[in-house]
Amino acid sequence: MRGGDILLPKLSVLDLAPVLEGSTPAESFQNSRELIQAVESYGYNRYWVAEHHNMQGIASSATAILIGYLAASTNSIRVGAGGIMLPNHAPLMVAEQFGTLESMYPGRIDLGLGRAPGSDMLTARALRRDDRGAYEFDRLVDELRGYFEDVERPVIAVPGKGMSIPIWLLGSSLYSAQLAGQLGLPYSFASHFAPDLMDDAIATYTRNFKPSDVLEKPYVMVAVNAIIADTDDEAEFLASTLFQQFLGIIQGKRGKTQPPRDMSNLWTEDQKKVVHQQLKYTFYGSSEKVYKQLAEFMSNREIDELMINSPIYNIDDRKKSYELLSKVWK
């Protein structure tokens, strides 16, 4: 609702390819394919998968490969990375991978970039071999963008050179917000798990924004959790899958995505408060209730697009959640 515009922001989808308790990554990919085909029919704008490593409950580690699999299963929805953790990779290889994807699915590929490891620091060292990448993010972004330019250089990306692939900067702090503004790139904030700095990040991005050949004015997308069902009670029950995931993080427990269950005996009051604070921008209930919650969330905020994460255990319930939101949004 930028500048008081009554038009609702576009809706998009974030998918972590959850590995369910009792299932395999292969089944996760099949569920993601089923989900992207459904949300394409519901009218969602884009579908992003995120790079994570060393997590039993998330199967989207080989992000570019999964993007190709999902793009091949659809016709028009934009498919991309939300995001590629750039310090984990050589920029040339990222350019070649996404140049390949853009060659296969022209006009449908997004490249979102983050600077976090997407895992713990031990795994980050296994990926990067050194710790310099996170401190050289500006340089890595510049190098990557250079491979897409239509200019001759000693090393070129084939495919990749001369391709116009939308690059986004992602963040959960102020660093990428400032850099995205200075470069005139679109910006996406991870408020679905890091809510505290969202408003400061949007303000930082807008304040530092410089028009570029990519954007004339700021473009902000924020990610939130939304879980919709026929009734408020059912939606709250389904949301317990997400609550268990974050409770496990607090307790230092790793595992696959758990089915919904009664949370009353699973957490203490203090743990419950911590989980709910970290998941501050999680909206669950009937479609009418969630619509009102999201409308209030967007009021007086310059948001151009909402990326919805619906971490629901059962794929049919997950599809229904996205369908109910799309209907009330229209």
CB-CB neighbours of 8 under 10 Å: 15
Per-residue pLDDT tens for 183-195? 999 999 999 999 9
Per-residue pLDDT reduced to its tens digit, 122-133:
877 788 756 665
In sequence order, what E strands does the chain have? Answer: 10-15, 46-49, 78-85, 109-114, 167-171, 187-189, 220-228, 282-285, 305-309
C-alpha–C-alpha distance, residues 200 and 62, integer Å: 32
What's the pLDDT at 195?
Answer: 94
Mean residue pLDDT of the chain comes to 94
Q: What is the structure's pLDDT at 66? A: 98
The predicted model gives 169-178 an average pLDDT of 95
The answer, yes or no, to whether residue 2 has pLDDT greater than 80, is: no
| More confident of the two residues 126 and 9 | 9
CA distance 114 to 137: 9
Per DSSP, the three-state class of 190 is coil
Say if strands 109-114 and 305-309 run parallel, antiparallel, or are unpaired.
unpaired
- Work out the number of other CB atoms within 10 angstroms of the CB of residue 279: 20
**CA-to-CA separations, 62 to 12, 49, 141, 160, 319, in angstroms, rounded:** 21, 10, 20, 19, 24
> Mean pLDDT over residues 142-157, rounded?
97
The pLDDT of residue 58 is: 95
Nearest to 48 by CA among 210, 166, 154: 166
**Once rounded to an integer, what is the mean pLDDT over residues 81-91?**
94
Q: Each residue of 195-221: b (16+ CB within 10 Å) or e?
A: bebbeebbebbeebbeeeeebeebbbb
pLDDT digits (tens, 9 = 90+) for 280-330: 999 999 999 999 999 999 998 999 999 999 999 999 999 999 999 999 998
Q: Helix, strand or coil for residue 163?
A: coil
- Tens of pLDDT, residue by residue over 32-43, are 999 999 999 999
Residue 117 pLDDT greater than 60, yes or no = yes
51 Cβ contact partners less than 8 Å away, ≥ 6 residues apart: 60, 61, 63, 81, 83, 84, 85, 88, 114, 118
Give tens-digit pLDDT for 44-66.
999 999 999 999 999 999 999 99
Q: What is the average per-residue pLDDT within 162-166?
A: 97
Above pLDDT 90, what percent of the chain? 88
- For tokens 């239509």, the residue is 150
Class of residue 21 by CB neighbours under 10 A (exposed 0-12, middle 13-18, buried 19+): middle
Give residue 278's pLDDT band: very low, low, confident or very high (50, 70, 90). very high
CA angle 110, 112, 113 (to 5 degrees): 150
Instruction: State residue 120's pLDDT score.
Output: 74
pTM of the shown model: 0.94
Q: Report pLDDT for 194.
A: 92
Q: Which position has the higher pLDDT, 258 or 254?
A: 258
Specify the pLDDT at position 107: 98
Q: pLDDT-derived band of residue 3, with 50, 70 and 90 as boundaries?
A: very low
pLDDT computed for residue 130 by the predictor = 61
Reply yes or no on whether the pLDDT at 25 is more than 50.
yes
